[in-house]
Structure 1
Amino acid sequence: MSHVPLSENRVVAHGLRAMTVADLPLIHPIELASYDHPWSIGNFADSLGAGYSMWVLEAGGDVMGYYAMMAAAGEAHLLNLTIAPDWRRHGLGRDLLAHCLARACEQQAGSVFLEVRTSNTAAISLYHSSGFVDLAVRRAYYPAGEGREDALIMKKDLAC
């Protein structure tokens, strides 16, 4: 369990647990509030059904964030890492990412890959500061308001 500073004088304890189907109605509003082109409940359900590593970050029963990662053949792919808008800028994304990387090691991944919108500078900064490097740009990868947006492909080699 970690503590999140909410202000100089307030701290809230939070924890991580494996995501279940019962969490889907709780995480989907966060997804909808976070992305113009969000995952559907079906996307989350399919990922759970496929056995992906999916975790929820919560405090006092309230979901504050989540991630989805798949691992196979010595590699992991971070598919989705999202913090609820009201909980951003408190280090929770870093906590989730650290947990994801540890889970990737447990699943014998030697590296973790991800794609991120080139406009998502906060996420790119988090990933760079966590040791990810830029590999390439995937042109017109994401749907966007008018047209498509590029994705930055990033990689982190793990020392498990």
Structure 2
Amino acid sequence: MIKLWMAPAGLHIEPGRVLDAKELARIHALGFYRGWPASEFETFLADRDTPIYVACDAKRRIAGFALIRVVADEAELLTIAVDPKWRGKGLGTALLKAVFEDLLATPARRMFLEVSEDNAAAIKLYGREGFETISTRKGYYAKPDGSQATALVMARDLD
């Protein structure tokens, strides 16, 4: 049985497949200075402890995705990315809600993430979804100009 969740703009969310790796790498590179290669996404997709949730249309054109890691009673949002033409439509929220719902069937009770302190849109999204900043990591992210950005470490309970 394939799990499906509803998403805005006529999209739905479903588990990622190994065949999605190239498209996930493309979308990730549009949102991050150092995008991850398709081979890394293939590795994640082959590991049941790193599920990927893809938002796509009926023809399976991917608009965005969320990648998590589950270890014991904790989950980590490794990355979330939405194609620029789909941003601002509630896809990030829908992806997080699908992740939270799916995690209810796991032992995970808390979720963590890191986000660049200058990524205002993501910080706003995470705040709306109950995440709170618990610490920082200075110089965590490289920026195109050679400088480094501080990461905010955020967390929220899942139950």
TM-score, length-scaled by structure 1: 0.89
Q: Which 5+ residue runs of structure 2 have no aligned equivalent?
A: none
Report the counterpart of residue 32 of structure 1 in structure 2. Answer: 29
- 1:133-148 to structure 2, matched below 5 A, reads 133-145=132-144, 146-148=146-148
The residue type paired with residue 99 of structure 1 is A
SS at match of 2:130: coil
Which structure has the highest strand share of the two? 1
Q: Is the 8 A contact 1:104 1:112 kept in 2?
A: no
- 1:1-160 to structure 2, matched below 5 A, reads 2=6, 4=8, 12-51=9-48, 52-61=50-59, 62-145=61-144, 146-159=146-159
Whole-angstrom CA distance in 2 between matches of 1:125 and 1:135? 15
Q: CA deviation at 1:17?
A: 1.3
Q: CA deviation at 1:49?
A: 2.7
TM-score, length-scaled by structure 2: 0.89
Whole-angstrom CA distance in 1 between matches of 2:114 and 2:40? 17
Whole-angstrom CA distance in 2 between matches of 1:111 and 1:79? 14
Length, aligned pairs only: 152
Identity of aligned residues (%): 28
Q: CA deviation at 1:43?
A: 1.9
Q: Which 5+ residue runs of structure 1 have no aligned equivalent?
A: 5-11
The residue type paired with residue 84 of structure 2 is P
The residue type paired with residue 54 of structure 1 is I
Whole-angstrom CA distance in 1 between matches of 2:132 and 2:139? 20
SS at match of 1:102: helix
Spell out structure 1 runs of 4+ moving beyond 4 A: none
The residue type paired with residue 153 of structure 2 is I
Kindly report the root-mean-square deviation, in angstroms, between the aligned alpha carbons of the 2 structures.
1.4
1:41 and 1:3, CA in 2 relative to 1: closer, same or farther beyond 3 A?
closer
Whole-angstrom CA distance in 1 between matches of 2:30 and 2:86? 12
Q: CA deviation at 1:101?
A: 1.3
Whole-angstrom CA distance in 2 between matches of 1:47 and 1:147? 29
The residue type paired with residue 73 of structure 2 is G
SS at match of 2:23: helix
Whole-angstrom CA distance in 2 between matches of 1:53 and 1:106? 13
SS at match of 1:108: coil
